[in-house]
Structure 1
Amino acid sequence: MNQKIILQTDQLGKYFYEPEKFMALKDISLTVKQGEFTALTGKSGSGKSTLLYVLSTMDTDYQGKLIIDGTLVTGKKQNELALLRNEKIGFVFQFHYLLNEFNCLQNVMIPAVRLGCYSRKEIEHRAYEKLSLMGLKDLALRPASKLSGGQQQRVSIARALINDPLIIMGDEPTGNLDSKNTDIVFEVFQQLSQEFNQTIITVTHDNDFAAKADRIIEMKDGKIY
């Protein structure tokens, strides 16, 4: 079965101007299909994080085209991009960015409350569903500050899933985790990809993590190597 193309770029280029003019991305053309688990790899300075931030629409200062779910997003206004991100992209960062004064359930609910498409009761139901998927339903009412690092990162994945986004984007999502919790996060991503047809694009320095993904895109000197 031919999988739908979820994300596509056409000759992306990006310059940085400080301390001097420097081309960080060079002629990046790629497609990512629904359900693909893609790892972006490369040494520091290779351009992989820069590429992720362009793909995420958080960086709009680039040349070329970015198409998400069949829609050209290049040139859209910031408020349109913010809505698109909240609806179609879930983010998992190296640091979990949970609000310590909130419990797990409240943290997971935040993007759905922001989106405003569901009732409070429905949002809570969805949050419990996502925490269950992460094996954390029993900890839903525990303050985020009382969780282990691995548990906190799984809560952040549940939060990324709350709006059923088309794409999960990860920026070193296992960078702060030990090997046991890294394996757990990988298994979660693999399950999302294989069982739920979720598209995942994640930057990683971890070669073992990347090697188990469906596809590796290696960056070198701003190009796909």
Structure 2
Amino acid sequence: MESHIALRADNIVKYFYEPEKFQVLKGISFEVKKGEFLALTGKSGSGKSTLLYVLSTMDTDYEGQLHLNGEALTGRTQNQLAAFRNEHIGFVFQFHYLLTDFTVLDNVMLPALKLNKKSRAEIEEKAYQNLKLLGLDGQALKLASRLSGGQQQRVAIARALINDPAVIMGDEPTGNLDSKNTQNVFEIFRELAHERGQTIIAVTHDEDFARNSDRIIDMSDGLIV
């Protein structure tokens, strides 16, 4: 696989079986370059969130082939995929999923502690760097519950970056935010892509957010339009 490609999907087909058999993804193929900020758009029911779930390796019940960072992921066990995800994919969801009884710093460190490839001191240093990048180093020792919604979402981005993932995947990452914080998160993503070469794939309903990304993949009825 070419070294400049972060992710490649080849002919991804997906069925739902409840209440009856229904084809939700109809042979989706595309590539995402390293350092590209891609927006996945489409009406509810278009298949965009289902596609993100397949791309994220959380859903393995599909036909076709998925490559991420040059590695074929189709056919791996759940345990292999969980380990791969923790190391190579960062997640930012609509809801931040922070542990509210933990400090901001502890939340950011968690995926790296789980990966267990660096010392705790190195991980803490990296977590502080990420929080500084996102303008939150002054909040590091606060409980996550004490932060505003916009700050919590920035902590979630810092956490997503901690293992230097190949790809950050966002599922409506600005869905719970007001326009000012939406703009904030968008600018962070753009800076990460353009200045740090971070690949970002985000499902969004926000037209401004999508329009300002590098590329839009618009879906309708399980196909790329």
TM over 0.5: yes
1:102-181 matches, cutoff 5 A? 102-181=102-181
For 2:3 and 2:66, locate their aligned partners in 1 and report how far apart those are by CA, in whole Å: 19
Measured after TM superposition, the shift of residue 69 of structure 1 is 1.2
Counterpart position of 2:219: 219
Show structure 1 runs of 4+ deviating over 3 A.
none
In structure 2, the residue matched to 1:69 is 69
Do structure 1's residue 203 and structure 2's residue 203 form an aligned pair? yes
TM-score scaled by length of structure 1: 0.98
* Cα pair 2:144 2:152 within 8 Å, conserved: yes
Q: How does 1:15-26 map to 2 (within 5 A)?
A: 15-26=15-26
| 1:95 is the counterpart of 2:95 | yes
- Structure 1: tracts of 5 or more residues without a match: none
SS in 2 for 1:24: strand
SS of the residue corresponding to residue 57 of structure 2 reads coil
1:79 CA displacement: 1.1
Ranges in structure 2 where 5+ consecutive residues have no aligned partner: none
Query: Could you say if the C-alpha distance between residues 5 and 197 of structure 1 is closer, same or farther in structure 2, counting changes exceeding 3 Å?
Result: same
Quote how far apart the aligned CAs of 1:54 are.
Answer: 0.1
Measure how far apart 1:205 and its partner are.
0.4
Using the TM superposition, give the Cα deviation of residue 3 of structure 1 relative to its aligned residue in structure 2, in angstroms: 7.0
Count of residues in Structure 1 that have an aligned counterpart in Structure 2: 224
TM-score, normalized by length of structure 2?
Answer: 0.98
Identity %: 67
* Aligned residue type for 1:130: N
Partner of 1:29: 29
Distance 2:162 2:122 in 1: 11
Partner Cα distance (2:145, 2:71) in 1: 39
